[in-house]
Amino acid sequence: MELFNNNISEFLVIVICVISLNNASHCLCFTTFVFGDSLVDAGNNDYLFTLSKADSPPYGIDFKPSGGRPTGRFTNGRTISDIVGEALGAKFFPPPYLAPNTQDYAFQRGINYASGASGILDETGQLFIGRVPLRKQVNYFEESRGYMVKKMGENGTKELLKKAIFSLTIGSNDILNYVQPSIPFFGSDKVSPSMFQQFMVSNLTIHLKRLHNLGARKFLVVGVGPLGCIPFIRALNLVPTGKCSIEVNELIQGYNNKLNKVLDQLNKDLGPETIFVYANSYDIFIRIMTNYRHYGFDNANKPCCGGYFPPFVCFSRNGGNKASVLCDDRSKYVFWDAYHPTEATNIIIAKELLDGDEKFTFPINIRKLNEYNNSY
């Protein structure tokens, strides 16, 4: 009897999603597939043997669905993808792929494949041991697609996927590894900045095309933010307070420019049925840093948790709520730890990506992307 009820439940979920896909104005299920690094990891690294984890307090201290307990998110609360999903009507967050029984949620919520320390390149993050590079994340999605086909059939799966948003937030760790000469793969014989930028873009393009071949039609590709301004890079390069590493930010801007051009070409080649939206997180973050008091912040330099100097460790002493170094008011800090923004910062970025103009999302914003081609 229990097996019968489970099968009925699965059938009803499929029916609801298929009906809602045919009536976009009354859609009952928002589906998104999330790929990326620690900026959007929802807990995949909790299931890996890795040095890149956010599974202990005070991470997640402001994440209401967990009651303030860590979920594997590398911030104090919600990630940008969490906030965007909620704004577009999602009732639940896409679960991490590596969590048990995740495949069953693919129809309702989508799945999160993102992994802290991962990159576009397979070698990125190797010092952290365990991580899921973008290539493997796409492999995991292919497995999820196979599961969907078994449950919904090929046509039903195609209908679901062409309405879903595929977001990719990745590339930061590739840049960080490149600018750190101690990383073996990126040692003294590393390629020129221009060649490295092109290497990143060409590899990312391969994965975008592969996702397209698997049925993705609505892409959100997030550029790399101004890593030259994060506490880790500023401390590593002895950059004065209030300043950023020009060298690192120039490397990132060169990559973002190349990426933007490739996405523009993909839109010409594969549109209008397929669309690639470029999210200009770099300029949004620079504006927040420059005008941080306007946004209600008191500190745009130091991290809220973990301190401003190496080893930048953010943790609770003796498993309690008292952190190694934790600011009094998390809403007043731009940075949560030495690498990641606070939820307060993520909310501002998400709002600009959702409803901003072409300065920050091109050719359309995320809200319009969600509605794009829903009548096909």
Catalytic residues: 38, 337, 340
Amino acid at 290: T
Contact partners, residue 112, CB within 8 Å, separation at least 6: 33, 34, 40, 41, 42, 43, 44, 81, 93, 94, 95, 96, 97
DSSP-assigned letter for residue 186: T
Contacts of 134 (CB under 8 A, 6+ apart): 35, 118, 119, 120, 168, 170, 203, 204, 207
Asked if 80 and 65 touch (Cβ cutoff 8 Å), the reply is: no
Half-sphere exposure of 84 (CA within 13 A, CB side): 28
Between CA 66 and CA 69 the distance in angstroms is 5
Residue 102 to residue 55: CA distance in whole angstroms: 19
Question: C-alpha distances in angstroms, 359 versus 48, 81, 166, 277, 341?
Answer: 38, 20, 21, 12, 21
H helices present in 134-240, as ranges: 134-163, 172-179, 193-213, 231-236
336 contacts 330 by C-beta, under 8 angstroms: yes
